[in-house]
Structure 1
Amino acid sequence: MTVRSWNRPLLVFTGAMILLVLVSLAGLVLDPRTLGGQPIWAKPLKFSVSLALYGPTLAWMVSLLHGERARRIASGAAVVVAVAGVLEMVAIVGQVTRGVGSHFNTASAFDAAVYAVMGTSISVLWVANLVIAVLLLRDRALSGSLGWAVRLGLAVSLLGMAVAFLMTSPTGAQIEAAAATGALPVTGAHAVGVPDGGPGLALLGWSTTGGDLRIGHFVGLHALQALPLLALGLGFLAARVVVLRADTVRTRLVIVAAGAWTGLTVLLVWQALRAQPLLAPDALTLGAAAALVVGTLVAVGLVLRSAPRAVVEEPVAVPA
């Protein structure tokens, strides 16, 4: 499957996001304004970089589908993704040029309308990704470690995307302020236990004084790239590492990695919901993290122990 057969709207969308990366970098240098304690162009930069990686990854995944009907449905869903992504970025950049926030901003009727469009577009994008994920799951011709990496990468990324919906409800402080003033200029927050816009990690902006749901959102979302890259890496190593030559072994390792990535995403969301900064985990969080690491290592060990039998029983399949 060549790049020419990849979904063209997604490739155009990717090109637009790369251009926006350059514009955002220029904005960071030339525009001294800040918003929520961060450079005002930091959000467009983060989103455009993420989407510039997301677009070609999804286009490649769609190209892997077999069957004319499945590919046609997935191509339609990919067009929906591209349009929804454009709407999201137009809203973000448009609000930046006005010097106001895009997410959670309901200060005026216009701001509330922009935020509603963003909420609708990201919901539609999530559903379109779900459609593509279901089509890939049902494609029996897509087999082996790479096939499972693609399916599981999409599944975990859908979980990561869904974390964003936890950010949209008004916080207790916002509800109390609305009861006192009769207005609700901000609806929702990234941070938990502290107001948005407080001390945060450089550029990323993740809170260093409270929980931050963006961390689990980010990690889960990028399983889309991480798991297929792992499968491809294991495939290339198979030519040199005997224990990896059976695709059954590589598939099991991908499944273990998907479980670990899911566990890490859930752990980071759980930590954030407990109003705990990423860099200040308590004993409970550290214990859960240690259990996740140990469980993953044990699972990897069990998979590798099964390798000799798998190597004997299965033909060697090494990627060209």
Structure 2
Amino acid sequence: MGVLALVSAVGIVVDDRMLVGVPIWTKPFKFSVSFIAYGLSLAWMLSLLPRGRRTGWWAGTVITVASTVEMVLITLQVIRGTQSHFNQATPFDSAVFQLMGATVAVLWLSALVIAVLLLRARILDRAMAWAVRLSSLIALAGTAVGFLMVRPTPEQLAVDDSPIVGAHSVGVPDGGPSLPLTGWATTGGDLRIAHFFGMHALQLLPLLLIVLSALAARSARFPGLARLADERVRLRLTLTASAAYAATFVLLTWQALRGQALFAPDGTTLACAGAIVLLGGAAATLSLRTTTPVTSPTPTPTEEVTA
């Protein structure tokens, strides 16, 4: 994936072809970079398993193979100058897209196996254990958003034998005004936003805990960070962050399905976002509350003389 990211980056610069409103090599570039982060995170999580490592190894290997097949097919269609996703223009294009759908299903099921292994694993640091478990479940939900994209749009249903069946955008056609690099629609809903946000919980939630642990290690120099040295505080913050992340993921999915652009939310979306911020902030404040310190027992006179 690292090599393909470099090749795709060069392709974006030297190949002037456009596809669905963006440079034709944008899709393999984004997918390969995403798979780098996804693969590294899964590899690290599998290393935490005290049991079931062989099952985890096989699940990870299946994900690797499925990801490779997916990227080969995407790159093949780029070379041919046509869409990989939703393309039903010819029998060959349809077969490519169906094979891609099968690889995604296999990838999702393999990731589910890993998530179950992580849920059952006894990891020593409880905060890290829950960060890994909850992030893997949210990532599964984020991946599943992709299945919503294959539904035909009303415009496609109105046309017999539409060459394109399915779309990233909701309420507007794919290829319209979009954000740079990401290609997310700016005039309507876009399911890729929730898809991206959900999948990368796999990196962001454990990263948050790593930052909290690093801050806790500096509590001797900065007394204000002393509370983070308590594992119970880190656990509560992890659960709070995971709940807020999951709620934001649901909101982004709902916003896209209603045909709203990310930066053009209506009052309902803003109210929900505000509720997430307020409740998340309140929960984080409560999570940081001072815990009862453990005091050393007062030594007896005999112990003092002995000392």
TM range (shorter): over 0.9
Q: Please say if residues 65 and 142 of structure 1, whose CA atoms lie closer than 8 Å, have aligned partners that are also in contact.
A: no
Which whole-Å CA distance do the structure 2 matches of 1:276 and 1:37 have between them? 19
Structure 2 spans left out of the alignment, 5+ residues: 220-224, 296-307
2:301 is aligned to none
Give the TM-score normalised by structure 1.
0.89
Give the TM-score normalised by structure 2.
0.92
1:72-151 matched pairs, under 5 angstroms: 72-151=54-133
Q: Which amino acid in structure 2 is aligned with residue 60 of structure 1?
A: W
| 2:139 counterpart (157, 175, 179) | 157
1:3 is aligned to none
Deviation, 1:184, is 2.4
Q: Please say if residues 106 and 185 of structure 1, whose CA atoms lie closer than 8 Å, have aligned partners that are also in contact.
A: yes
Which whole-Å CA distance do the structure 2 matches of 1:312 and 1:193 have between them? 58
* Alignment coverage as a number of residue pairs: 289
Which whole-Å CA distance do the structure 2 matches of 1:102 and 1:52 have between them? 20
2:20 is aligned to 36
What stretches of structure 1 move > 6 A for 4+ residues in a row?
Answer: none
Q: Please say if residues 48 and 123 of structure 2, whose CA atoms lie closer than 8 Å, have aligned partners that are also in contact.
A: no
Which whole-Å CA distance do the structure 1 matches of 2:98 and 2:77 have between them? 13
1:226 is aligned to 204
User: Identity of counterpart residues, as a percentage?
Assistant: 53
Which whole-Å CA distance do the structure 2 matches of 1:142 and 1:266 have between them? 30
1:269 is aligned to 253
Deviation, 1:27, is 0.1
Which whole-Å CA distance do the structure 1 matches of 2:124 and 2:267 have between them? 43
Aligned partner of residue 291 in structure 2, secondary structure:
helix
Q: Which amino acid in structure 2 is aligned with residue 124 of structure 1?
A: V
> Residues 186-229 of structure 1, C-alpha deviation per residue, up to 9 Å, x if partnerless?
11100000111111001111001100000011001100000111
Q: Which amino acid in structure 2 is aligned with residue 297 of structure 1?
A: G
| 1:312 counterpart (294, 298, 302) | 294
Aligned partner of residue 177 in structure 1, secondary structure:
coil
Which whole-Å CA distance do the structure 1 matches of 2:40 and 2:114 have between them? 14
Aligned partner of residue 165 in structure 2, secondary structure:
coil
State the structure with more CA Rg.
Answer: 2
Which whole-Å CA distance do the structure 2 matches of 1:34 and 1:262 have between them? 35
1:278 is aligned to 262
Q: CA RMSD in A?
A: 1.0
2:11 is aligned to 27
1:13-24 matched pairs, under 5 angstroms: 17-24=1-8
Aligned partner of residue 159 in structure 2, secondary structure:
helix
Which whole-Å CA distance do the structure 2 matches of 1:56 and 1:204 have between them? 21
Which whole-Å CA distance do the structure 2 matches of 1:52 and 1:312 have between them? 44
2:165 is aligned to 187
Deviation, 1:142, is 4.6
Deviation, 1:243, is 0.9
Which whole-Å CA distance do the structure 1 matches of 2:183 and 2:50 have between them? 41
1:166 is aligned to 148
Q: Which amino acid in structure 1 is aligned with residue 78 of structure 2?
A: V
Deviation, 1:84, is 0.3
